[in-house]
Structure formats: C-alpha cells, structure tokens
Amino acid sequence: MAQVSVRDHRAGAAPASASLTAGRAALRLRGRRALQRVEPYLYVLPALLCIVIWVYRPLVGTLELSAYQWNLLPTTPRAFVGLDNYRRVLTLPEMGQALWTTSLYIVGLLPFSLVLPLGIALLVQGITGRMRGVYRAIIFTPMLIAPVVVAVIWRWLLHPQHGLLNAGLADVLGTASFNWFRSQELAVWAIIGITGWKLLGFSVLLFSAGLTGVGQDYLDAASVDGASGWQLTRYIILPLLSPTITFVVLLTVLLSGQWTFPMISVLTQGGPLGSTASIYYLLWELGFRSFNVGFSSASAVLFFTAFGLLAWLFTKLMDRFSFYDS
C-alpha cells in the first residue's frame, strides 16, 4: 500500500510541476512580448526627454510669464496682469515698423534662397568628378563662417572711408562713398545682401540634393521626343523639384528673422531710427535690454502662434501642390 501511495503522489506531482513550468514559460513569453513593444520607445526616450526639457518646458514657462509684469530680478515680485501684455504688444508703436521690416527681409531673401540657388544648381548639375566636390566646398564656405565674423568682414568691406568694396562701387558709379549702415534706405538692403550671400551656398546644396532625385530616364525620353532644354526644365525638372522649392520658401519665411538677427545686432543695432529692426530683434530688446520679460513673453507667444499657422499653411500647400515621382 505504501508503494502505491508513493506512486500516486509522484503521478500527481508531475502534472503540477509541468503546469508550473508551462506557466513560467508563458509568463516569460508575455514579458518578452511586452519588452518588444516597449523597446522602440526606450530608444527614442532620451530624445523625447530633451525635447520636453529644452522645448516644451520653456514654452510653457513663456506662456506663464506672459501673464505677469516682471523685470527678471529675484528680489522683485511678479505682478499678475492677465492679458494686458498682449494688448500692449498689439498697440506697440514700433511693432508696425518691425513687421514691415521683417516682411522686407522675407521678400528680399527669396532671390538669394530660391531664384539664384536654383539657377546655379541647374547650371552646374553636369559637373562631375573631383571638381564637383571643389565647387560644393567653395559655394558652401560662407555658410560655415560664424555670423558675427561675416558681419565684421562686411562692415570692413563697406566702411564709408576705408572699405574696399565700398570704394570700388563709388569709383564705378562715380559718386561719393555710401554709408550703408547709417542710411534708412540702404541699411535694410545691406543686411539683406549680406545675409543672402551667407545662405546662398546652403540653398544651392538643397537644390543640388533635390536634383539627384530627378530620374534621368524622364530627361532622356523627353530629349528623344525633341524637348528643348527649357522644356525639360519647365515640364520635368521644376515639377519634380516642387517639394524642395516649397521647403526652401517655408524656411525663408520662418527663419529670415533669425538669419538676419546677428547682422542687425552687429552692424546696425536696429537703426537708423528702427529701420532695420525685425520682430526678432524687437523681441530681444524688450526682453534683454528693457528687462520687460512679461511683455517680451507675450510677444513671443503671439509670434509663435502666427508663425505656427504659417508653417501649417505651408505644409498644406506642400501636400496640395508638390509633385512626387512615384
């Protein structure tokens, strides 16, 4: 009887042990599948944390500060003013001039970011071999120079008494030397020209990269059918470059104020009489010269909203009018 009891006990223990083993295996499998689902998010977690810390947290802080009157001093308490800062921004006398100047920068930089780079990229797309790398290095060099250094170099070149370029222009035109940065009519165009010279190579590289996506088969087939060079450009190359063109226009509209800021800060300080101050420079003056952090934060929120709407509009236009090679 004892032997039968032991055998029955072992027979009952075996299924229990097998069931326990199967349960552990199922648990491990479930944990492995859960880890597989979570693993992609772990890879992007550092980037997400950086975005939250360096983008969204300051954005929320700016939105909070826009409702207060404060001069950044820790000994001075913040005074809640609600929406009064937004009202003051919209009625600021300098705001109209800054918006007009920013619009001038956008329109004035479009030839340097769109028209000239596109033409240069089309003209030199046939360059191959070692010369292609040399050409790219030469044309991209201005973009590698620090903006402050660029501003100092051009201030020397356009100096009214000793500037080499200024003296050469005066000799060619037969007039007296221009004081570019102290003239209300010339200062804006000098800023546009210097900024455009700096970003020209960047735009050329963007269009050169876009041209690599244009299939040679389309061009060869159109050439066989008797298409001219202009027809190839008009009906094949430009439609296939439409995503790049729209992207460059979007960059110019959104970033022209940032691109011109170092030049304004070094060369004109917003003058003469505020004729070169963009909305970005006006924001900086409100925040770091007047120490009116609530006022500048309200301006930043308004401009962020406006440029966000512009970016949304451009993305819709890109989806509507861009042509992709399928």
280 and 205 co-located in one domain: yes
Give residue-wise pLDDT tens across range 186-239.
Answer: 899 999 999 999 999 899 988 988 888 777 787 788 888 788 878 888 888 888
In this structure, is residue 71 part of a structural domain?
no
Task: State the pLDDT at residue 236.
Answer: 83
Residue 4 clears pLDDT 60, i.e. is over it: no
In this structure, is residue 226 part of a structural domain?
yes
44 and 155 co-located in one domain: no
By CB neighbour count within 10 A (0-12 exposed, 13-18 middle, 19+ buried), where does 95 fall?
middle
Cα end-to-end distance, the chain, whole Å: 82
Count: domains in the chain: 2
Tokens found for residue 213: 């996506």
164 and 284 co-located in one domain: yes
Q: Where does a domain end: 65, 82, 101?
A: 65
Give residue-wise pLDDT tens across range 156-172.
Answer: 888 888 778 877 877 77
Show the domain range for 19: 2-65
Tokens found for residue 137: 């290095």
In this structure, is residue 53 part of a structural domain?
yes
203 and 286 co-located in one domain: yes
Contact predicate 261/281, CB 8 Å? yes
Alpha-carbon distances, residue 137 vs 115, 117, 144 (angstroms): 20, 15, 10
Mean pLDDT of 271-291: 84
Task: State the pLDDT at residue 1.
Answer: 47
Residue 311 clears pLDDT 80, i.e. is over it: yes
Read off the pTM.
Answer: 0.80
253 and 301 co-located in one domain: yes
35 and 181 co-located in one domain: no
Tokens found for residue 97: 């001039």
Tokens found for residue 217: 């088969």
In this structure, is residue 86 part of a structural domain?
no
Residue 49 clears pLDDT 50, i.e. is over it: yes
In this structure, is residue 77 part of a structural domain?
no
Which of 16-30, 50-64, 98-112 shows the lowest mean pLDDT across its residues?
16-30
Number of neighbouring beta carbons within 10 Å of residue 75: 5
Rounded CA-CA distance 164/172 in Å is 12
Task: State the pLDDT at residue 323.
Answer: 65
Give the phi and the psi of residue 184 in degrees, each rounded to 5.
Answer: -65, -30
Contact predicate 301/287, CB 8 Å? no
202 and 262 co-located in one domain: yes
What is the share, in percent, of the chain residues with pLDDT greater than 90? 17
